[in-house]
Amino acid sequence: MTTGVRRRMGVEERKRQLIGVALELFSRRSPEDVSIDEIAAAAGISRPLVYHYFPGKQSLYEAAVRRAADDLATRFREPREGPLGTRLLRVMGRFFDFVDEHGAGFSALMRGGPAVGSSTANAIVDEVRQAAYEQILAHLMVGNPPARLELVIRSWVSLAETTALIWLDGRRVPRGELELQLVHDFAALAAVSAAYDEEMAAILLRIVADEPADGAFGDLLGRLTTLGTALPAQRAHA
């Protein structure tokens, strides 16, 4: 028979609970629209008790951002085995899993939410971007990246972030197509850079040498070949 008495939580356990509750609420709605009263009610505690653990909503928001950021950073980790295109496609699948799961929370994480101007929140977001950059660089097995390679990777990380934010607004493009398109975008950025730089060309050729014809990069080549064949025919009929 239950007595109805609630188990008393320790300090760290309660903090983890509040962060989890806040993250769940922030994932469904913009953090500006979530009140401390709602967080307290969802956690089953009083408003003053929330303030006992966190000085205010911004500090709780930053703690939730930290947890979300740590989770997001792990999505870019991938065993360095197999073709790069396949690895990047799996990374994009996990990345969009996170975006799907957290919705408004992802937007808040990348846009700042109520912590706009907070050096802590901004630094956390920058850590995620840096972690993504380092993971992709590790997959390319380049110890001292040339300037153009750094531009390619950082531009691609920014593109993935922006694409996900736009996709959240209506999900008008099938998610699977966007995941593959972003992998193709990486190859395209690298190819354009390789056209200007011999060092990048060598890196790209090494990547492509390990790619199967039916892989993600091979799929891009097939699409571009089809497009290249169609363009002269279209011009002839113009």
pLDDT tens readout for residues 142-151: 988 999 999 9
User: pLDDT: is 77 or 110 the higher one?
Assistant: 77
- Which band of pLDDT confidence, cut at 50, 70 and 90, is reported for residue 136? very high
d(CA 103, CA 113): 13
- What are the residues whose beta carbons fall under 8 Å from the beta carbon of 146, sequence distance 6 or more? 197, 199, 200
The two most distant CA atoms of the chain are separated, in Å, by: 83
Tell me which amino acid residue 135 is.
Q
Is the pLDDT at 110 greater than 90, yes or no?
A: no
- Which band of pLDDT confidence, cut at 50, 70 and 90, is reported for residue 4? very low
Q: Indicate the SS3 state at residue 83.
A: coil
- Which band of pLDDT confidence, cut at 50, 70 and 90, is reported for residue 118? low
Sign of the alpha-carbon torsion through 17, 78, 112, 123: positive
User: pLDDT: is 104 or 210 the higher one?
Assistant: 210
Other C-beta atoms closer than 10 Å to the C-beta of 203 total 22
Taking only Cα atoms into account, the Rg of the chain, rounded to an integer number of angstroms, comes to: 22
* pLDDT > 90: percent of the chain: 51
This prediction has a pTM of 0.81
Tell me which residue has tokens 């969009």.
96
